[in-house]
């Protein structure tokens, strides 16, 4: 009995070692157990061309196929568990050049090429719902989605030099157009913690911890070694499962409103009355300010130059500025007088400067007021919804039709 | 790779300990595993750092043998000078080069000078260089002072000089302290329990106390431009406890990891916040560093052997350099200078037999308040932030803290209670009282699994002393 007791004592004293090894073995199975495809932060990031680097930038991996569920990009930050209706099917392919288009679209010249940020590239949507696809299929206007890459890259592209489209569409939120951010596409990225296989936290980690890791003698070795060590740091099946469990428990214990208060985030605002998350609502403020006036002025200079440059190749520039989510749904911005809304001034200026454009302000305000229709922006995503894509595509098709008629006349 | 990183917890250490336990009976193989894994550990902070660790290590090994061989001859002294200057030169180059240039108005020199090694110089300071340098110097000087005979076994020396549990942030281990263990180490269920105990407690202090206190501190710093009196007070005390538990946590983890493989590292803390004076504090805080400063700086400067005035000056110089050792920034110099000043004042009072009759509890409180205030100078390398902080301290008002602070403050309360209780009513000797019993063994393993799980939910906060 005494011997048995001493054996148990010994086992208890060294029990940390087998426990540690077991949990490590489990962890080492990360690469087998976790698939990159289940519900993740941004489905499109898995299409990244260089895993762990530039995860959100085009060109993606050519011929990449994705067919799974995804949820909005703001939901992780507040530890909300996505409701079933917030899980959206995402199906997309990447073409042979690394953009989200059907393979072979550029076998023939296209009518239009569309530019913009993640809204255009399709961070939020399944392929058939993208504006480029709707224009191609529904409105018989073959349109190439060049989303995320700067216009300059299109301008330098040999194929497009030989086969210029009739139209270049610049599509974004009012703020993106005002600030001309579509020229240098800056898709802000948020390190995901919901699924480790999105990798995108790696770059952030490197910037924080190894800002100068490329110095020195053996550049390639250093870079690769650092990348491998960083990769392991951010890639964990245990973390994935724990995070899921943590989210489950939190959502059982607290309401979304309470969670939003607990995980108070300066970049986010949760409106419980609409069950809606606003990402950087201050950035989406539609109020006309000194800064937005200056931005519009600068934007006009850039857009006029672009219009004139494109004209040299016979291309017409069309600008489409969609009201921001904060503009349409944020309570604090609901009673701003029309004259003090910057989108009105932007649309006015586009007209004055003879830049072809779509007037979304009035139309989308009317659409947003329809309570029986789906929302124009997803509740838990910073991006606009499939319904907005439908409206945008319809108005763009009408504009293109009108322009082509006036050209033929 | 931090001790709390996934890479360390799930891959590096389990692989290391598995191989090590398999090879432990063969000392050469066991040492070889330690050196290999230590190099990989160091390289995880950037492969380019590796030569900075390895090349001086080889040179020091050879020089130490040379010093011993030519003992008593001029060449021995010359070799000592070369080794000390070489090691300090390396430290100065990586840590103080830009600081010195910017303070002599030559900040542009470094980027334009084509003759210097600037193009090869990493912009990041190699991690742990301060601790590594001090450990190397202690080895060389101890050989010169005939306190130890240098080892002629390169593997043993490499094991001593690279041992990963304390490579980056100490404790600074002298060769004499682990000389025997480099040749033979005993590992049994009790040593593993000892390792578990220190590791789990260290992990607890880091994750559940220091990191939790950091959330409040970080929020206040983010809003430093609008800092109010009450927030300044909170910041001061939270940082004071944070730095203690961050470093204590690290030291315990290092001691625990070392115990797993049969090494006994010296304790680095002995209830520093229960000190009755600043002199007492420096006998209890970062003990391995303060004793290094005493043995290799204060005493060679003359210590107390050259008269009273010289003693005070030596104290001041030692602490100024001790401050500068922490980083190339004036706040560290000021912090060191303040401590040096307090030490000198206490020495004056002692020399002139001026005894202030205040109760012990009051002297403890007073010492803690002085230490806590000086930590704030240590905390702010940005003088503008320090200025904002000091100004807010002068504007006494009791307006409630920022609303965003309320929830983190409530969450930090358990951490604060633990910190206060441990700091003032317990001490590090308490750990020695936890005996290897069945119940304790299971309890620590369960705690370990909980901590690992918890660590995955939180974003890691680097150890404060990793930067030094």
The pLDDT value recorded for residue B290 is 92
For residue B171, what are the contacts with CB-CB under 8 A and spacing of at least 6?
Answer: B251, B254, B255, B265, B266, B267, B268, B287, B288
Confidence of residue A55 (pLDDT cuts 50, 70, 90): very low
Tell me: do B72 and B181 sit in the same domain.
Answer: yes
Question: Residue A326: helix, strand or coil by DSSP?
Answer: helix
Residue A225 at interface with chain B, using a CB cutoff of 8 Å? yes
Residue A77 pLDDT: 79
A18 preceded by a cis bond (ω within 30 of 0): no
Residues B181 and B196 in one domain: no
* CA atoms of B109 and B119, how far apart (whole Å): 13
Task: Return the exposure string of A143-152: e unless at least 16 CB atoms fall within 10 Å of the residue's CB, then b.
Answer: bbbbbbbebe
The pLDDT value recorded for residue B4 is: 80
At A217, list the tokens: 């003698």
d(CA B142, CA A4): 49
Task: Answer yes or no: are the C-beta atoms of B253 and B203 closer than 8 Å.
Answer: yes
Per DSSP, A43 falls in state G
Q: What is the pLDDT of residue B349?
A: 87
* Together in a domain, B23 and B68: yes
Q: How far apart are the first and last CA of chain A?
A: 104
* CA nearest to B15 within chain A: A21
Q: Do A17 and B193 touch (CB under 8 A)?
A: no
B356 and B216, same structural domain?
yes
pLDDT at A51 over 50: no
**B407–A264: do the CB atoms touch at under 8 Å?**
yes
The span from the CA of B374 to the CA of B236, in Å, is: 9
Which helix H or strand E contains B260, and what residues bound it? helix B229-260
B107 and B173 part of one domain: yes
Question: Would you call A28 an interface residue with chain B, using a CB distance cutoff of 8 Å?
Answer: yes
- pLDDT beyond 80 at A16: yes
Residues of A in contact with B452 (CB under 8 A): 23, 238
A206 CB-near residues (< 8 Å, 6+ apart)? A213, A226, A227, A230
Contacts of B190 in chain A (CB under 8 A): 13
Same domain, B182 and B199: no
**Residue A235: pLDDT band by 50, 70, 90 thresholds?**
low
Q: Which of B131, B156, B186 is the last residue of a domain?
A: B186
Domain end (from B186, B221, B245): B186
The residue with greater pLDDT, B398 or A298, is: A298
- With respect to residue B1, please indicate whether it lies within any of the assigned structural domains: no
CA nearest to B439 within chain A: A12
Q: Residues of A with CB below 8 A from B5's CB?
A: 233
High-pLDDT (> 90) share of chain A, %: 40
Q: Do B11 and A28 touch (CB under 8 A)?
A: yes
Spatial contact of B180 and B173, defined as CB atoms under 8 Å apart: no
A residues 169-208 near B, CB within 8 Å? none
Q: Of A5, A10, A20, which has the smallest distance from its Cβ to B189's Cβ?
A: A10
Q: Catalytic residue at B68?
A: no
Nearest 10 degrees: Cα torsion A383, A387, A393, A395: -110
pLDDT tens by residue, A208-226 = 444 444 433 334 444 455 5
Determine the Cα angle at B100 with ends B94 and B106, to 5°: 115
| Comparison of pLDDT for B460 and A67, the residue scoring more | A67
Q: Is residue B71 part of a domain?
A: yes
Q: Is B323 in the same domain as B424?
A: yes
Query: Are A17 and B17 inside 8 Å of each other by CB?
Result: yes
Do B166 and B203 reside in the same domain of the chain? no
Please indicate, yes or no, whether the overall pTM of this predicted structure exceeds 0.90.
Answer: no
Query: Which of A61, A75, A150, A46 minimizes the C-alpha distance to A103?
Result: A61
Q: Which residue has the tokens 């020089």?
A: B63
Asked if A220 has any chain B CB less than 8 Å from its own CB, the reply is no
Do B351 and B396 share a structural domain?
yes
Mutate to test the interface with A, among B46, B197, B204 (most CBs of A within 10 A): B46
Give the CA dihedral B45, A186, A279, A132, nearest 10 degrees. -130
- The predicted structure's pLDDT at residue B203: 92
Residues B180 and B294 in one domain: no
Please give, rounded to a whole number of angstroms, the shortest distance from the CA of A268 to a CA of chain B. Answer: 14
pLDDT of residue B438: 86
pLDDT digits (tens, 9 = 90+) for A85-143: 888 888 888 888 778 899 999 899 999 999 888 888 887 788 999 999 999 999 999 99
Task: Give the helix, strand, coil percentages of chain B, each rounded to 5.
Answer: 75, 0, 25
Numbers of helices and strands, H then E, in chain A: 17, 9
What is residue A32's predicted lDDT score, i.e. its pLDDT? Answer: 67
Q: Which of A247-261, A308-322, B219-233 has the lowest mean pLDDT?
A: B219-233
The candidate with the shortest Cα–Cα distance to A173, out of A407, A397, A401, A384, is A384
* Secondary structure class of B183 (helix, strand, coil): helix
Q: How many domains does chain B have?
A: 2
Nearest to A213 among B46, B440, B445 (CB): B46
Residues B295 and B176 in one domain: no
Confirm whether B436 is domain-assigned.
yes
Contact by Cβ (8 Å): B172, B134: yes
- Closest-approach residue (CA) in chain B for A194: B457
- In sequence order, which residues have a C-beta less than 8 Å from that of residue B444 and are 6 or more positions away? A16, B193, B196, B197, B200
Calculate how close chain A gets to B57, using CA atoms only, in Å. 20
CB-nearest partner of A215 from B48, B436, B452: B48
Closest approach of B260 to chain A, Cα-based (Å)? 10
Catalytic-labelled residue, pool B68, B166, B326, B339: B326
Which residue in this structure is represented by tokens 């578990």? Answer: B196
Can you give the pLDDT of all 468 residues of chain B as single tens digits? 778 877 888 889 999 999 999 998 899 999 999 999 999 888 877 777 788 889 999 999 999 999 999 887 889 999 999 999 998 888 888 777 766 666 655 544 443 333 333 333 334 567 778 888 889 999 999 999 999 999 999 999 999 999 999 888 878 999 999 999 998 888 888 899 999 999 999 999 999 999 999 988 888 888 888 888 888 999 999 999 999 999 999 999 999 999 999 999 999 999 999 999 999 999 999 999 999 989 998 888 887 888 888 888 988 899 888 888 887 788 888 999 999 999 999 998 888 887 778 888 899 999 999 999 999 988 887 788 888 888 888 888 777 777 778 888 888 999 999 999 999 998 888 888 888 888 898 999 999 989 988 887 776 676 776 665
pLDDT at B19: 95
Q: Check A242 against B441: CB less than 8 A apart.
A: no
Q: Which of B136, B167, B186 lies at the terminal end of a domain, its last residue?
A: B186
pLDDT at A203 over 80: no
At A137-188, the pLDDT tens digits run 999 999 999 877 777 777 777 788 889 999 999 999 999 899 875 554 322 2
Instruction: Please report whether residue B50 resides in a domain.
Output: yes
Interface test with chain A among B42, B48, B187, B199, by most A beta carbons within 10 Å? B48
Q: Same domain, yes or no, for B163 and B249?
A: no
Shortest CA gap B450–chain A (Å): 11
Expressed as residue numbers, the domain containing B69 is 6-186
Are B123 and A17 an interchain contact pair (Cβ–Cβ within 8 Å)? no
What one-character-per-residue DSSP string does A162-216 give? Answer: HS--SEEEEEEEHHHHHTTTTTS---------S-GGG-THHHHHHHHH-TTTT-S
């Amino acid at each position: 009995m005494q011997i048995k007791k001493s054996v148990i004592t010994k086992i208890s004293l060294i029990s940390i070692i087998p426990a540690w090894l077991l949990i490590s073995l489990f962890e080492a199975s990360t690469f087998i157990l976790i698939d990159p495809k289940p519900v993740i932060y941004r489905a499109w990031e898995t299409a990244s061309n260089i895993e762990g680097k530039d995860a959100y930038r085009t060109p993606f991996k050519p011929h990449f196929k994705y067919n799974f569920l995804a949820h909005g990009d703001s939901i992780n930050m507040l530890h909300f568990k996505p409701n079933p209706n917030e899980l959206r099917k995402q199906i997309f392919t990447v073409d042979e050049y690394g953009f989200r288009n059907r393979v072979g679209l550029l076998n023939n010249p296209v009518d239009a090429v569309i530019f913009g940020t993640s809204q255009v590239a399709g961070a939020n949507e399944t392929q058939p719902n993208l504006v480029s696809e709707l224009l191609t299929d529904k409105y018989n206007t073959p349109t190439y989605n060049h989303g995320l890459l700067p216009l300059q890259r299109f301008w330098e592209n040999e194929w497009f030099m030989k086969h210029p489209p009739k139209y270049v569409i610049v599509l974004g939120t009012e703020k993106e157009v005002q600030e001309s951010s579509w020229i240098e596409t800056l898709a802000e990225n948020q390190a995901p913690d919901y699924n480790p296989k999105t990798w995108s936290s790696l770059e952030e980690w490197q910037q924080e911890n190894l800002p100068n890791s490329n110095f020195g003698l053996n550049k390639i070795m250093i870079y690769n070694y650092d990348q491998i060590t960083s990769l392991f740091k951010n890639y964990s099946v245990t973390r994935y499962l724990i995070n899921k469990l943590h989210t489950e428990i939190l959502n059982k214990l607290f309401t979304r409103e309470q969670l939003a208060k607990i995980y108070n985030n300066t970049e986010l605002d949760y409106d419980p009355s609409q069950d809606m998350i606003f990402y950087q609502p201050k950035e989406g403020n539609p109020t006309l300010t000194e800064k937005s006036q200056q931005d519009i002025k600068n934007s006009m200079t850039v857009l006029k130059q672009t219009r004139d440059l494109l004209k040299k190749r016979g291309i017409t520039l069309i600008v489409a500025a969609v009201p921001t989510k904060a503009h349409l749904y944020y309570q604090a911005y609901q009673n701003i007088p029309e004259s003090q809304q910057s989108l009105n001034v932007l649309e006015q200026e586009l007209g004055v400067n003879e830049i072809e454009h779509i007037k979304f302000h009035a139309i989308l305000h009317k659409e947003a007021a329809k309570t029986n229709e789906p929302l124009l922006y997803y509740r838990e995503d910073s991006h606009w919804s499939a319904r907005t894509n439908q409206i945008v595509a319809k108005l763009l098709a009408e504009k293109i039709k009108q322009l082509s008629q006036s050209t033929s006349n | 790779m931090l001790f709390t990183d996934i890479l360390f917890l799930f891959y590096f250490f389990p692989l290391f300990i598995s191989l090590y336990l398999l090879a432990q009976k063969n000392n050469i193989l066991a040492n070889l595993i330690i050196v290999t894994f230590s190099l990989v550990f160091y390289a995880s902070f950037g492969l380019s750092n590796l030569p900075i660790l390895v090349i001086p290590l080889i040179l020091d090994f050879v020089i130490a043998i040379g010093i011993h061989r030519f003992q008593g001859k001029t060449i021995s002294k010359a070799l000592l000078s070369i080794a000390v200057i070489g090691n300090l030169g390396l430290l100065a180059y990586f840590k103080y080069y830009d600081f010195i240039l910017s303070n002599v108005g030559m900040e542009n020199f470094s980027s334009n000078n084509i003759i210097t090694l600037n193009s090869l110089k990493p912009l990041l300071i190699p991690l742990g260089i301060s601790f590594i340098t001090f450990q190397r110097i202690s080895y060389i000087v101890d050989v010169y002072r005939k306190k130890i005979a240098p080892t002629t076994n390169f593997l043993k020396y490499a094991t001593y000089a690279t041992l990963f549990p304390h490579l980056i942030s100490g404790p600074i281990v002298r060769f004499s302290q682990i000389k025997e263990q480099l040749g033979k180490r005993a590992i049994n269920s009790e040593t593993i329990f000892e390792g578990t105990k220190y590791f789990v407690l260290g992990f607890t202090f880091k994750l559940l106390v220091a990191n939790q206190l950091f959330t409040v501190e970080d929020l206040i710093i983010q809003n430093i431009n609008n800092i109010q009196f009450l927030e300044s007070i909170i910041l001061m005390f939270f940082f004071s406890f944070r730095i203690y538990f961050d470093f204590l946590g690290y030291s315990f983890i290092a001691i625990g990891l070392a115990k797993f493989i049969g090494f006994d590292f010296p304790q680095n803390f002995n209830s520093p916040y229960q000190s009755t004076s600043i002199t007492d504090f420096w006998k209890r805080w970062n003990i391995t560093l303060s004793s290094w400063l005493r043995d290799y700086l204060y005493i060679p400067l003359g210590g107390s052997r050259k008269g009273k005035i010289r003693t005070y000056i030596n104290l001041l110089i030692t602490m100024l350099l001790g401050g500068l050792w922490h980083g190339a920034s004036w706040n560290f110099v000021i912090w060191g200078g303040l401590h040096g000043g307090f030490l000198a004042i206490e020495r004056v009072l002692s020399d002139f037999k001026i005894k202030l009759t205040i109760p012990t509890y009051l002297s403890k409180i007073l010492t803690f308040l002085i230490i806590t205030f000086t930590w704030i100078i240590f905390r702010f390398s940005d003088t503008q932030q320090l200025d904002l902080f000091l100004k807010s301290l002068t504007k006494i008002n009791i307006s409630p803290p920022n609303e965003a602070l309320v929830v983190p403050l409530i969450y930090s309360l358990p951490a604060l209670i633990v910190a206060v209780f441990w700091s003032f009513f317990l001490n590090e000797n308490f750990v020695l009282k936890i005996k290897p019993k069945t119940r304790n063994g299971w309890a620590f393993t369960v705690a370990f699994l909980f901590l690992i799980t918890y660590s995955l939910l939180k974003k890691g906060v680097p150890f404060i002393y990793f930067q030094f």
